[in-house]
């Protein structure tokens, strides 16, 4: 229990030296159809093609993990505004798990 709290607080820490993909214009929210396609889950992708699996295919992440997508640097990062404020608001509104939505 204490360990997960520690991990949570690490996630919540804001570092002005990091790049947060969530605040980049290339970080796109997409709907991923599930089952009969009347339901979906939220995913995020980098439309600059920077997120890749080992074999080169595109890597897509679960939306609720988007605050963890941070980098030391990125040559195609295009910030969408005040990153600290944006991340604070995002953390408040982000689902805490991989939710299933109905169309
Ligand atoms: S362009 Fe770089 S900073 Fe922007 S979403 Fe892709 S990997 Fe993240």
46 CB near ligand 1 (under 6 Å) = yes
Note the pLDDT of residue 5: 41
Domain range for 7 = 2-102
Domain count, the chain: 1
5 vs 9: CA distance, rounded Å: 6
Counting ligand 1 atoms within 8 A of each CB, the residue from 46, 70, 81, 87 with the most, and so the one to mutate, is 46
24 CB near ligand 1 (under 6 Å) = yes
User: Distance from the CA of 63 to the center of ligand 1, in angstroms?
Assistant: 15
Question: pLDDT by residue (tens digit) across 29-67?
Answer: 999 999 877 999 999 999 999 999 999 999 999 999 999
User: Binning pLDDT at 50, 70 and 90, where does residue 20 land?
Assistant: very high
HSE (side-chain half, CA atoms, 13 Å) at 37: 0
Question: pLDDT by residue (tens digit) across 60-98?
Answer: 999 999 999 999 999 999 999 999 999 999 999 999 999
User: Binning pLDDT at 50, 70 and 90, where does residue 11 land?
Assistant: low
């Amino acid at each position: 229990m204490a360990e997960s709290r520690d991990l949570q607080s690490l996630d919540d820490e804001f570092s002005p030296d990091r790049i947060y993909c969530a605040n980049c214009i290339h970080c796109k929210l997409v709907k991923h159809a599930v089952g009969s396609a009347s339901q979906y889950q939220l995913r995020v992708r980098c439309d600059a093609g920077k997120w890749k699996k080992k074999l080169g295919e595109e890597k897509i992440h679960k939306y609720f993990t988007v605050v963890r997508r941070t980098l030391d640097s990125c040559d195609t990062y295009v910030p969408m505004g005040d990153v600290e404020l944006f991340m604070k608001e995002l953390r408040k509104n982000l689902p805490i798990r991989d939710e299933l939505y109905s169309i």
